[in-house]
Structure 1
Amino acid sequence: MLIAALILGTFAVAGTSLVSFTHVATKDRIAENERQALLDSLYALVPAESVDNDMVTDTIQIQAPDLLGSEQTTVYRGRKLEQPVATVLTSVVPNGYSGPIKLLVAVRYDGTLGGVRIISHKETPGLGDKVEENRSDWVYSFNDRSLGDPPLEKWGVKRDGGYFDQFTGATITPRTIVNSVKNTLLYVRDHKDALYDRQASAPGAG
């Protein structure tokens, strides 16, 4: 029994050591893979050649739930030669048809949209999921738009007299996303310079 206990103890120690070694060995790789995935998402909206800073680390946290939909929003800042290029905000649509919809919204320094991407949602397959770029090109309709193009009063879906298309059988999803993107543009317009400030926090920053 003593020998059996020693053997079991040896296997337990060896197993624990192996798990610990594997965790340490893969932790950095996992972190780097996550970083690269985030960079790929950011560079899809703000081309890598247009910035020379590390957007993953050049960030601030802000609090503007009325416009941005969550208690805390991450803002990634893009710069070139120390000059502001664009911000990417992690906006949230809290009232999608089937739950919250998380967005990345890129706003250039001149107020135009670099683009919008849906990063998570629970919308109905075949209807609301058409907001995904691999399902339709609807999300590209935001590219290069601004609060003046279309005019602010046209920032809605066509069923409501606005500029943007809705989906057959699914109006709530595009309606709420359009409104969220508009609100993000409004926030950036009102706090543009503060969002890029390295020293001071943006209004509402956490």
Structure 2
Amino acid sequence: MALMRWVAGVVGGVLVAGVMVGCDTPPPPDPAPGPTWAGSAPRSAAPPQAQPPAQEACPEGGVQLREGAGDAAMGLRVADVQLVNCGTQPYVLDGYPEIRLLDKKRNPVEAAVVHGSDGITASLTGVDGAPQRVELMPGQAAAVAMVWRNLVTDATVPAAEAWVLDVTPRPGAPRVELELGRSVDLGNTGKLGIGPWTAAAR
């Protein structure tokens, strides 16, 4: 009996000690934080806003060229080029521009640029009007009509084709270039007829 009481006392003491030790056990440590990057935005930050496209700069002369409408029938070509006043001051035109034709590599294309449609066509094409003074306020445009024939009469002469217009809008003004989406395909006629500047239709 004494032995049983001694065993029971030992077991009870061990249980009490175990409970006391369990009470003194510290809680498990918090999980380590994830990696952080200095200067980085939170994951929930909104993506940066796209910047609007930059507007085309206005050239030194204060005007820009644009390719206008075109028409082709039975080898006769009619097209126009528009000049826009992108500056801040009025721009005055009087008469005809000076136009040079260039190929894709910007080499000169041999062709005569004449006023009117004489020798090209007898049809009304808009290039035979009388020169007049045109004053463009900022944002306004003028147009010049062009006419030519895509005709090959001599297979031994290379056909001429221009993809760039080098234009002096008025005497003394800086030249302005225009890359064309539709070529001036002269064949081997060697002649381009142009009209005077006119106010562009609004």
| Greater RCO, CA 8 A, separation 6+ | 2
Q: TM-score, normalised by structure 2?
A: 0.22
Higher strand share: 2
Q: TM-score, normalised by structure 1?
A: 0.22
- Give the greater-gyration-radius structure (CA): 2
Higher helix share: 1
